[in-house]
Structure 1
Amino acid sequence: MTVGLQRPGGRTSRTRAAVLSATRELLVEQGPGGMRMELIARRSGVHRSSIYRRWGSPAGVVADLAREIGSNLEPVETGTLSGDLAAMARRLADQLAGDGAALVLALSAWRDPEVHQVLGQFWADRREEIGAIVSRHGSPADPGVVLRVLVGPLHYQALLEKQPITNDTVRAAAHAASTLV
């Protein structure tokens, strides 16, 4: 059973939400180097021993946070190839908004196999989603290549230029990816 989901809406759920929120804030503010259980406990208002009992280590909490980010994504199906790719690009761009880009950088810098496994699964799920989109539209295109073309401009603008992702960038990324399908 996934940590924090035994009693949805109950104390376990509230504790998990507080710990994940505190962890996100700390990761964005301090990066991986600042992640310590005592800081998570202080920020979340949850006793350190409770956090250790549920997650085992800061890496366990960070992996759960990364898993949570990927679990809230609804599949896109607009009825058109360009619409599907644009909707997926918009959804990914929205994740990079606000503190999202800083969070992605901090998660990517985290040096733990469990965290990297969760991040790898996030991208495997996106490739599978792109695979479903290209298949639905009758294309044999490589989902990994389509995904890279779709995501590249978004990450470039948010992570390298440190600028909010514009609608023009979302449209251009979707258009570029659609030319491969």
Structure 2
Amino acid sequence: MDDLAHVSFVNTEFLQKNGLTVKNVLDYFFTSPFYLHFGGATSLNEQRRRGQIEDPFASEFVLLAANEDAKEGRVETSVFVIQRRSTVPHEAFYVISGSIYKAPEISELMGSALCQAALSAAGILKKQLEAMRQKELPDLPSEGRLESEPSEPSEPTWPAWCLFETKGPPAWLLAEAKLAAKVPR
């Protein structure tokens, strides 16, 4: 169970017997494999439960947030956020409708967003290249003037601004105009 990013946990017996509220959500979390995997046996929570002397360097699991339904004890629409922390915050966990999940790390989120952006940029560039290849070069007549007989390229599926045929969306144009107004000439 090394990769807990794709694991969820539900203790139906606990939920049927106790429900789920802000008062017992940590007890519910303590029954999960997440608690054990992330140092629950040596945590401040466990030291307190056993009446032991508290180690100031031990981590602690705390309830960070709960939605209104969680505060009112409605399991089916409840959302809780639990965090493991010591001197700095560590892992975060979600309890959504009684199911416990490990929240992704910020580095994972950023990596995923950057990957999506790169894939999107590659797609835009590919479409631009396709559109440029579809356009025919005009013929040069003997007088040296260009004739402009319109060729009929197939319609690209991307907006024209992605193909460098028009300016960007209005919000971009407005930002561009504001920036130009600030630059002294």
TM bracket (short chain): under 0.3
Give the structure with the higher percent helix: 1
Q: TM-score, normalised by structure 1?
A: 0.25
Greater relative contact order: 1 or 2 (C-alpha under 8 angstroms, separation 6 or more)? Answer: 1
Give the structure with the higher percent strand: 2
